[in-house]
């Protein structure tokens, strides 16, 4: 397919998945509004429909809870083809039925991008309305996902990380007692090949965490203290740190200077705290179980987000570049979600190996900003090649480019339009 045809297909995926202001990740498998999907989708819409881009983010924030949390799923209408639905979550924190935890906060970063693309008065007005909501959301993360001021952000559920069955969660998940789980029927495995999805035992534990939080009525303080799963995640930490820098710039742009000292405080807390996630043996940032203090032992794609978070000291950047080159010598397409030399790696199982376009977009951005355009462009070219070979799939094998998971996937289409598609310069070369 030519580039122009792919552009057309990508735009059509976004408009077909549009439910009238918000976009589903893909029909069938994910029939609701997902948090970070929507934000990346907004970045894709911004390439051809600015109004629609803002709308996507505004609708996401309509679901914000009274305590500031922005849920990972908004159940705007009932859809029996998805499990676990609203009755399993049992939440009551906001105006729209939703899941009970959040997802990586990319909104501040993308809102800043939207203003870079279009700084009209209308756009500034829309950003002004979103600003206090994003601020409140970040405040919620700092209060309830870092209750001990460690400067690292925890997830209370693997799904909160957005990287659901990452090997980093395995140990901590094994400590979760399977309890209070009513008989259930999964729906994901009827939409896609079970070999690419999490195992049944993982699912039982996912639901046990939900049950434990339901028991404390999703009270964020109690959740932070009692949730059987509480793991500091380099992915969410780096994404929030980056988002705080963007929020600070937005505050400046929008004249919200009163908020700046608070945001600056969060930034320096995380800049310092990130060192706790540094695995000195591995020379990379990893996850850490905050209930036991134990670090994980594998390089994940989130390790490569340190530059995106602005952590570009040579002691961090150089080993990261070495990991990058080591991994690229091992497999054809970057960046696998987990180290292909780690025993837990599986090239087609969801977050245990496959490449995800929006993760590449963030990693590449960080490398470019850290003065490494070569590695950044390698990521873009690999992402483009995967999409040109496999189409707009949910994720891809880093070895064979095989398309996997759901098809006609919104964020893959969005990332193609916003970043991965070869530029005019490439075509001339
Ligand atoms: C899966 C992914 C998550 C994503 C969701 C919808 O759960 O792990 O990151 O937001 O699907 O695409």
**pLDDT tens digit sequence for 179-212:** 999 999 999 988 888 888 888 999 999 999 999 9
pLDDT for res 428: 53
Residue 121 predicted with pLDDT over 70: yes
Distance of CA 360 to the CA centre of its chain: 11
Q: Residue 367: pLDDT band by 50, 70, 90 thresholds?
A: very high
Q: 370 exposed, middle or buried (CB, 10 Å; 0-12, 13-18, 19+)?
A: buried
Measured CA to CA, the distance from residue 364 to residue 356 in angstroms comes to 12
Active site residue 394: yes
Q: Residue 38: pLDDT band by 50, 70, 90 thresholds?
A: very high
Residue 379 predicted with pLDDT over 70: yes
- How remote is the CA of residue 162 from the centroid of ligand 1, in Å? 6
CB distance 413 to 6 below 8 Å: no
Residue 429 predicted with pLDDT over 70: no
Which uninterrupted H or E stretch holds 247? Answer: helix 234-254
- How remote is the CA of residue 264 from the centroid of ligand 1, in Å? 30
25 lines ligand 1 (CB under 6 A): yes
CB distance 82 to 28 below 8 Å: no
- How remote is the CA of residue 353 from the centroid of ligand 1, in Å? 15
Contacts with 3 (C-beta within 8 Å, 6 or more apart), sequence order: 421, 422, 427
355, 360, 361, 364 alpha-carbon torsion, rounded to 10°: -170
Contacts with 196 (C-beta within 8 Å, 6 or more apart), sequence order: 348, 349, 350, 404, 405
Q: Which residues pair with 34 in a beta bridge?
A: 73
Cis peptide before 84 (omega within 30 of 0): yes
Tokens read off for 213 = 């939080």
- 399 backbone dihedrals φ, ψ, rounded to 5°: -95, -45
36 lines ligand 1 (CB under 6 A): yes
Contacts with 87 (C-beta within 8 Å, 6 or more apart), sequence order: none
Which atom from ligand 1 is nearest to the alpha carbon of 350?
Answer: 8
Residue 23 to residues 31, 62, 418: CA-CA distances in angstroms? Answer: 9, 14, 16
pLDDT for res 36: 98
Which of 70, 69, 71, 83 has its CA nearest to residue 30? 83
pLDDT digits (tens, 9 = 90+) for 40-99: 999 999 999 999 999 999 999 999 999 999 999 999 988 888 999 999 999 999 999 999
Length of the chain, please? 429
Tell me the average pLDDT across 252-257.
Answer: 97
Q: Annotated catalytic residue: which of 113, 164, 377, 402?
A: 164
Tell me the average pLDDT across 145-172.
Answer: 98
Active site residue 233: no
Q: Annotated catalytic residue: which of 56, 188, 256, 394?
A: 394
Q: 116 exposed, middle or buried (CB, 10 Å; 0-12, 13-18, 19+)?
A: exposed
CB distance 336 to 355 below 8 Å: yes
Average of per-residue pLDDT values in the chain? 96
CB distance 271 to 151 below 8 Å: yes
Helix or strand or coil: residue 346?
coil
pLDDT digits (tens, 9 = 90+) for 207-250: 999 999 999 999 999 999 999 999 999 999 999 999 999 999 99
Q: Residue 424: pLDDT band by 50, 70, 90 thresholds?
A: low
pLDDT for res 425: 53
Q: Ligand 1, residues 162, 186, 351: which to mutate, most atoms within 8 A of Cβ?
A: 162
Tokens read off for 285 = 């940032």
Q: Ligand 1, residues 28, 30, 72, 406: which to mutate, most atoms within 8 A of Cβ?
A: 30
Tell me the average pLDDT across 28-43.
Answer: 96
- How remote is the CA of residue 216 from the centroid of ligand 1, in Å? 25
30 lines ligand 1 (CB under 6 A): yes
pLDDT for res 298: 98
pLDDT for res 197: 84
Which atom from ligand 1 is nearest to the alpha carbon of 406?
Answer: 12
Which of 274, 20, 257 has its CA nearest to residue 135? 257
Q: Residue 27: pLDDT band by 50, 70, 90 thresholds?
A: very high
Tokens read off for 373 = 């355009």
- How remote is the CA of residue 253 from the centroid of ligand 1, in Å? 32
CB distance 24 to 41 below 8 Å: no
Residue nearest atom 9 of ligand 1, based on CA coordinates: 162
Tokens read off for 344 = 């837990």
Measured CA to CA, the distance from residue 138 to residue 141 in angstroms comes to 5
């Amino acid at each position: 397919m030519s580039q122009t045809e792919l552009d057309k297909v990508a735009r059509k995926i976004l408009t077909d998945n549009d439910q009238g202001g918000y976009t589903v990740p893909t029909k069938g498998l994910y029939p609701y509004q997902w948090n970070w999907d929507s934000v990346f989708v907004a970045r894709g819409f911004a390439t051809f429909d600015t109004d629609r881009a803002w709308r996507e983010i505004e609708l996401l924030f309509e679901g914000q809870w009274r305590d500031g949390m922005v849920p990972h799923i908004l159940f705007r209408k009932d859809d029996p083809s998805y499990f676990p639905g609203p009755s399993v979550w049992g939440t009551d924190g906001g105006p729209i039925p939703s899941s009970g935890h959040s997802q990586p906060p990319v909104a501040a970063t993308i809102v800043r991008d939207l203003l870079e693309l279009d700084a009209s008065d209308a756009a500034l007005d829309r950003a002004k309305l979103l600003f206090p909501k994003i601020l409140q959301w970040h405040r919620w993360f700092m209060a309830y996902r870092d209750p001990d001021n460690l400067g690292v952000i925890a997830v209370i559920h693997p799904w909160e990380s957005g990287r659901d069955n990452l090997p980093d969660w395995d140990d901590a998940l094994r400590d979760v007692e399977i309890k209070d789980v009513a008989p259930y029927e999964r729906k994901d495995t009827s939409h896609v090949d079970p070999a690419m999805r999490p195992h049944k035992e993982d699912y039982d534990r996912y639901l046990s965490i939900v049950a434990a939080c339901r028991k404390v009525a999703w009270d964020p303080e109690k959740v932070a203290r009692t949730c059987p799963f509480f793991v500091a995640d380099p992915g969410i930490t780096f994404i929030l740190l980056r988002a705080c820098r963007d929020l600070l710039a937005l505050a400046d742009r929008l004249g919200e200077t009163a908020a700046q000292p608070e945001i600056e405080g969060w930034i320096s807390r995380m800049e310092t705290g990130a060192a706790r996630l540094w695995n000195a043996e591995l020379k990379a940032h990893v996850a850490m179980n905050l209930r036991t203090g134990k670090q994980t032992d594998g390089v994940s794609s989130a390790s490569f987000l340190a530059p995106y978070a602005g952590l570009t000291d040579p002691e961090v950047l150089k080993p990261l570049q070495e990991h990058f080159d080591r991994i690229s010598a091992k497999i054809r397409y970057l960046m696998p979600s987990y180290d292909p030399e780690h025993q837990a790696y599986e090239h087609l199982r969801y977050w245990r190996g496959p490449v995800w376009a929006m993760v590449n977009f963030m990693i590449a951005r960080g490398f470019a900003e850290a003065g490494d355009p070569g590695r950044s462009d390698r990521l873009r070219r690999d992402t483009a090649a995967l999409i040109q070979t496999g189409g707009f799939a949910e994720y891809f094998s880093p070895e064979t480019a095989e398309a996997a998971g759901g098809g006609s996937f919104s964020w893959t289409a969005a990332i193609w339009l916003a970043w991965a598609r070869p530029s005019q310069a490439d075509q001339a070369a």
